[in-house]
Structure 1
Amino acid sequence: MTTADPSAPALVVLHGGELPPGRERIDRHPGLSEVRYATAEQLTEALPGARILLVWDLFTEALTAAWDTAGSLEWVHAATTGVDNLMFPGLVESDVAVTNSRGVFEGPIAETVLGLVLSFAKDLHGSRDLQRSHTWKWRESERVQGRTALVVGTGPIGRAIARMLTAAGLEVTGAGRTPRTGDPDFGTVVSADPGEPGGIGDALGDADYAVVAAPLTDATRGLFDARLLARMKPTARLINVARGPIVVEEDLVRALRDGTIAGAGLDVFEAEPLPDSSPLWDLPQAVVLPHMSGDVVGWKDELVRVFLDNLDRRLRGEEPRNLVDKARGYPRG
């Protein structure tokens, strides 16, 4: 929709077929000269002259292929927390600013992690399976209070998880880039480098739950492989609410089958949707979620609100929120 000011920036909304809710809030924004909606196939034609790109197609890599036509682009906003799909060399090395939607998903994801912890401790998923077969099987469950959790990733999502698990009575430690003590949410943070003495490898040996909440970067891709999984207790469970490729799926399947670890709660996978052929569907120790840990009623409206808030800030010449450090692949702070 064109406004009275032709010098205002043009916006492209990259979508996968589903448009943002209440799109009139975007279409009628007085600070935009034009709003173009494009699918991945249409992006190359839509980008020329556009200064802003809203990536509403959450996991697309279409911008990589269309980058040669993005000569006017100044700002890319991702309607996600993870921006690994945007961290290709052309964009990383350019002057184009990238922001994400930090602040939308932290609480819901933390609630999902707590739900998975409770499900494992109280065998809720096992009870559901027994109910379906009309089987009355008494057994003892585990306490949550006093158990230990290692949260890998000390950003806002990891911190929300730490606070939620601490409130439930777990003792929480973090693993991140910078080891430290006295952290307000984790207490102790160990190095996430598996080769570092006293780091994540040693900490896993004490954890009842290992929660993956780190961004997907070169340093975290394949982090949880057979060697790191072998450092976990045989009674421990792995929970991944970050990105699938952080965990080597083949190694995880083997660890579950061999009893190296006791269970896995998985919201993300190497390939999504999870293929029908994946053994994870049928492993009784695995809980499979369809990448929904952060998606609660109203989340898409909140994503639009975050984008419009940053758009207004940009048009006023203010620093945008959630500015991504492209060298790291996530916002600082």
Structure 2
Amino acid sequence: MPKVPSPFKVMAAKEITDLIRSWRFTLLLLLVFFTFAASMYIGVSNIRTVFNNTQDPDHAFLYLKLLTGGDGSMPPFHILLSFLAPLLGISMGFDAINTEMNAGTLTRLIAQPIYRDNILLAKIYSPIVITATLFFSLSLLMIGSGLLITGVRIEPQEVLRIMGFTLTTVIYIGFYLSLAILFSIIFRQPATSALSVLGIWLFFTVFYPMLVNLAVKAFMPDPAYLTQSQLMGYNELILNILRIAPNQLYSDAATTLLMPSVRSLGPMSMEQLSGAIPAPLPVRESLMIVWPQISGMIAFSVACFALAYYLFMRREIRS
């Protein structure tokens, strides 16, 4: 007797198929791929200059330079991803629930002998599987292309850093995906939920740093009358306020993972810098530096999904 697949697996497979065949996912996939290809082209074009620049402490990490290098014509790939990755998560989640409710298919699903939470779990599991597959495939493509073009052997440390950066990107997308699913439960119209999530993304990306800078100029004392310790304390406070934004957390984590010479994400005194050796950090220490940022993005994602789960389980669907 053949084994009957679980309802969750059936719904997850159906969601993955629908997402892959959708036009909006195809367009965003092409946008991410062409951005990646352009960044790779610029990185490979400048690879000789970067490798011969002995003043750069990261010049020996050839494959990391493919993701962080640039010639000024366009930002590095990890900077572009801080703008493009949220759009990918938003596009896959803003109509996850309300479209099913408006079409009446959600009522038919609830009428079947399946658990209600399986529906919501399939809605978030499927996009995460797709994005993880996409970005890990791009990372492997970058490593393979670099091996074919340069012939330089990749170091295990570089592989770990690239995989860590890719996982951080998936977590970052997961936050906006959870937020989009939450708004798709709150609002019945997909256009309203999409505009709400895009408004939050624009606020954190564009307006939030501007508001923080305006508040700093209005309330911060004159730096000329502050001691070094007081100035460092104010700078640390400003950085902590900026890190409420998910894009700031992602930028900090991506920069530290892709640039081994980054030793701290906060201000450092001259006493701290005096004994420091300008050498790349091991992977373990870089992960320790960015663990607060990664755990913060995970916490934001879990909080959004927990609220979405609570609202969905209490929603009257048959009305």
Higher relative CO (Cα under 8 Å, sequence separation at least 6) belongs to 2
**Structure-2-length-normalised TM-score:** 0.24
> Which structure is higher in strand share?
1
TM-score, length of structure 1 as denominator length = 0.24
Structure that is richer in helix per residue? 2
